[in-house]
Amino acid sequence: MTLLHVDRLTKQFGNALAVDALSFELKEHTATALIGPNGAGKTTTLSMLAGLLSATDGSIKFQKSDRRDVRSLIGFLPQAPKFYPWLSALEFTEMAARISGMEARHAKQEAKKTLEFVGMAEAMTKKTATFSGGMKQRLGLAQAIVHKPKLLLLDEPVAALDPVGRRQVMTLLKEIQQQTTILYSTHILNDAEEMTDQLLFLRQGKLVEQGTLDGVREKYAEPKIVIEFDQIEGARLFKESAPWSMTIEGRKAWLDLSDQAVHMNDIFSSLSAKTYNVRKVERQTASLEEIFMKVVLDS
Amino acid sequence: MNGLGVLLLKEWREMVRSFKLLWIPLVFIFFGILEPITNYYLPEIMKTVGNLPEGAEFTWPELQGKDIFVSLSGQYQFIGILMIVLAFMGTIAGERKSGTATLLYVRPLSFTSYFFSKWLVINAVLVASVWLGFSANWYYVHILYDAVEPKQALAFIMTYSLWIVFATTTVLMFSAWLPTGGTAFAGIFLLVFYPFIDTTIGAYWKVSPWKLPTYASDWFDPTLDRSHLWMSGGVTLLLIVLFIVFGIWMSKRNAAKTTV
């Protein structure tokens, strides 16, 4: 079921068009990655959805909203969340819950549970001024989910974290995804591969591609077979004798499967016909990074 | 007003944990005590350290308790108001610039509650500080000089408190409207320097919030006509309401400028 319907969303700052007629839908309990280079309009889009910026044109419709202020249905985590340094994690999360409309008697309890969930049980009474980047990100996540939002908006949620912090936050997000809908911006494409049902590629404020990870992969896959030989000579001999066009790089032969009819069986038959001393045969498809380069930078 | 209670608690915690709740009253009390003591012992101090030629004599005016009491407002007019501007210029603008406001603005926040929570807590602390300062002053004046009539003193402090509320409202309004630097400039100009201009060239008009500190001293002379004091008080109240409304509107309008 559709949770959010965005139609021709546009934001103009003076003469600069930051977001250009962006349209997409978010289904319930899905994770959507907003992918694009710096300046593509990711943060502006999230800011409009979060209610921080007003749109120049277009509409944002929440399907399940029976309340006037949809902000109580949204959780938002900026790229580098800033907290009042004189508040503790618990005080901040409780305050966030209460401003979002939670009753006072439930807010503290829910704040505690949420902080425990994000792994901050030990630090919940400490002042936020003493927190590391990873702790701030986890607290940011806690304040974004404490009121159980229908939609969670995350702006580069792990960009500023070290690999350990990144892994922890990604694990949390995958758990959170079971209960809510997530829209997050990223240019760390490994993360998008790890947790996404839908990809939205932005370039200069425009949506240049969208689809599921598998769908986009299929479209831009450019499947290849890579054969690695023991000797450079093996690769050269294979190229001379095989009927397919290929590229040789040192001991490796690359067969592009997208523009010719090549079957694995034929390759193995050809390889076994002579003694090439093959070290490895591998089928490769384009990584998301390669798709990103193709879609976002070449379009 | 959505979330006023929780925002009041937040502002109060900031006051306590940033030690403003401690040092602001202390500054006002310090000047409250310093004024009568300095005036009382000044002739002796001058005699001791003045290094005056032999035979030279100063004639000190015969000061009454109420003169010392009123003169404290002169100290507060410069140092006190400057402190208010500098301590609170970033109240809203600073939150926007640092990005701490972002996590509030994305919630179903009432900007009326947001502005009011700051206005109430800041004014509570400042008005209390002014009262403590004048109370300390009143006590020392009572010991060192003659007693100041409590009723007149109360009326004086209440009038001066209205001026303080006007000053904090102005600073908050600017903070909602302008960046921190702009607030500092506008606040210092309007509240610290403009009163001098108003005193110098303001002889042509009688009703002005900037004349309130001067009119406050009229309470010590029962024979004076207080119509200008009442009218200035009314105009000040009206401006406070207008500045609050404008401040709430600007807080909302500038929310998009918060650092994301």
ipTM score here?
A: 0.88
CB-based contact (8 Å) between A149 and chain B? Answer: no
**pLDDT the model gives residue B19:** 96
Q: What's the pLDDT tens digit per position in B196-233?
A: 888 777 778 889 999 999 899 999 988 888 899 999 99
Is there a contact between B126 and B157 (Cβ–Cβ < 8 Å)? no
**pLDDT the model gives residue A274:** 78
Q: How far is CA B236 from CA A242, B74, B140, B232, B252, in A?
A: 93, 19, 31, 6, 24
CB-based contact (8 Å) between B6 and chain A? Answer: yes
Q: Which domains does chain A have, with CATH numbers?
A: 2-219 (3.40.50.300), 222-285 (3.30.70)
Q: Which of A54, A82, A146 to mutate to test the interface with B (most CBs of B within 10 A)?
A: A82
Select the highest-mean-pLDDT range: A111-120, A168-177, A220-229: A111-120
**What are the tokens at B221?**
């002379």
E strand map for A134-259: 151-155, 181-186, 198-203, 206-211, 224-229, 247-249, 252-256
**pLDDT the model gives residue A299:** 59
Q: How far is CA A84 from the centre of its chain?
A: 28
Q: Is the dihedral of CA B79, B81, B83, B89 positive or negative?
A: negative
Looking at the 3D structure of chain B, how many domains does it have? 1
Rounded Cα distance between A206 and A36, Å, is 10
Higher pLDDT, A21 or A187: A21
CB-based contact (8 Å) between A83 and chain B? Answer: yes
**pLDDT the model gives residue A153:** 97
Higher pLDDT, A161 or A9: A9
CB-based contact (8 Å) between A47 and chain B? Answer: yes
Rounded Cα distance between B207 and B223, Å, is 19
List beta partners, residue A203.
A206
Domain encompassing residue B215: 3-257
Stretch A252-269: mean pLDDT: 79
**pLDDT the model gives residue A164:** 85
Amino acid type, B119: W
Higher pLDDT, B32 or A194: B32
Q: What's the pLDDT tens digit per position in B227-257?
A: 999 999 999 999 999 999 999 999 999 999 9
**pLDDT the model gives residue B164:** 97
Q: Tell me which DSSP letter residue B193 carries.
A: I
CB-based contact (8 Å) between B18 and chain A? Answer: yes
Q: In the structure, what pLDDT confidence band is assigned to residue A162 with cuts at 50, 70 and 90? A: confident
Q: Which of A52, A54, A56, A145 to mutate to test the interface with B (most CBs of B within 10 A)?
A: A52
Q: Do B107 and A84 touch (CB under 8 A)?
A: no
Q: Is the pLDDT of residue A67 over 70?
A: no
What would the DSSP string read from start to end of A50-119?
A: HTSS--SEEEEEETT--SS-GGGGEEEE-SS----TTSBHHHHHHHHHHHTT--HHHHHHHHHHHHHHTT
Is there a contact between B55 and B91 (Cβ–Cβ < 8 Å)? no
Q: In the structure, what pLDDT confidence band is assigned to residue B50 with cuts at 50, 70 and 90? A: low
Q: In the structure, what pLDDT confidence band is assigned to residue A66 with cuts at 50, 70 and 90? A: low
Which residues of chain A does B5 touch, with a Cβ-Cβ cutoff of 8 Å?
104
Q: In the structure, what pLDDT confidence band is assigned to residue B45 with cuts at 50, 70 and 90? A: confident
Q: In the structure, what pLDDT confidence band is assigned to residue A105 with cuts at 50, 70 and 90? A: confident
**pLDDT the model gives residue B119:** 98
Mean pLDDT for chain A overall: 89
Rounded Cα distance between A222 and A257, Å, is 7
Which residues of chain B does A69 touch, with a Cβ-Cβ cutoff of 8 Å?
108
Q: Is the pLDDT of residue B60 over 80?
A: no
Mean pLDDT for chain B overall: 92
Percent residues over pLDDT 90 in chain B: 77
Q: Do A52 and B258 touch (CB under 8 A)?
A: yes
